[in-house]
Amino acid sequence: MHLILFIVFAGFCLAGAINLLLQSHPINSALSLIVVMTSLAVLYLLLGAEFLAAAQVIVYAGAIMVLFTFVVMLLNAGREDRTLGSRSARVVGFPAVVVILGVLATVILKAQGLGVVTLSDGITSTADLSTVLFRELLLPFEVTSVLILIAILGAVALARSGDGERTSK
């Protein structure tokens, strides 16, 4: 069962990464990156790293991708062309979704012991995790937040100066 789920979500990850490179529109690329980040979170779950999976979804697929999308939309001052979507996405996408949902439904329905959870001795407590995060890793955590703030300010400055229209009072 783990092997099937690994193959399915590794395929999602690779397909999302390839689609990220092939897209011409930046918003579609950001959406493909969300697929990659979410697939990585599922792969972390399969490895037994639940905290990393939750952090992957919350931090990367959530906050960072919202920031990317905001910056892309802020910098893209041109008017968007309306399209009805790609024909190849309809031809390949809908049958692929049906097959993947069928595989996932089969795996879930045939799973043995679904809902049984056992605890082992090697579990790290939340107190130990917070001690590491807020004592040993506090400086990298704060430096990262300052870098993200600088990136946001730089994107706003680039978008504002790119208009070419300045009003002076």
Provide the H-helix boundaries in the chain.
Answer: 2-22, 26-46, 50-55, 65-75, 87-109, 126-131, 138-161
Kindly give, in sequence order, each residue whose CB lies less than 8 Å from that of residue 130, ignoring residues fewer than 6 positions away: none
Specify the amino acid at residue 92: V
Residue 167 is given by DSSP the state -
Task: Give me the percent of the chain exceeding a pLDDT of 90.
Answer: 2
The two structure tokens encoding residue 21: 């490179």
Span 164-169, average pLDDT: 50
| Tens-digit pLDDT profile for residues 101-146 | 888 788 777 776 655 555 555 667 778 878 877 888 888 878 888 8
CB-CB contact of 37 with 61 (8 Å): yes
Residue 119 vs residues 122, 123, 130, 132: alpha-carbon distances, Å: 9, 8, 20, 22
At residue 14 the predicted structure's pLDDT band, cuts being 50, 70 and 90, is very high
- pLDDT exceeds 70 at position 169: no
The two structure tokens encoding residue 118: 């056992």
CA torsion angle for 7, 12, 14, 19 (degrees, to 10)? 160
What residue ranges do the domains of the chain occupy?
1-77+84-116, 118-169
| Tens-digit pLDDT profile for residues 26-65 | 777 888 888 888 898 888 888 877 888 888 888 887 777 7
- pLDDT exceeds 60 at position 164: no
Residue among 32, 27, 31, 26 nearest 13 (CA): 32
At 33 the pLDDT is 85
CB-CB contact of 86 with 40 (8 Å): no
Query: Which run of H or of E encompasses 76?
Result: none
At 76 the pLDDT is 63
pTM: 0.53
Q: How many residues does the chain have?
A: 169
- Domain spanning 1-77+84-116: CATH 1.20.120.1200: yes
| Tens-digit pLDDT profile for residues 149-161 | 888 788 777 777 6
Specify the amino acid at residue 16: G
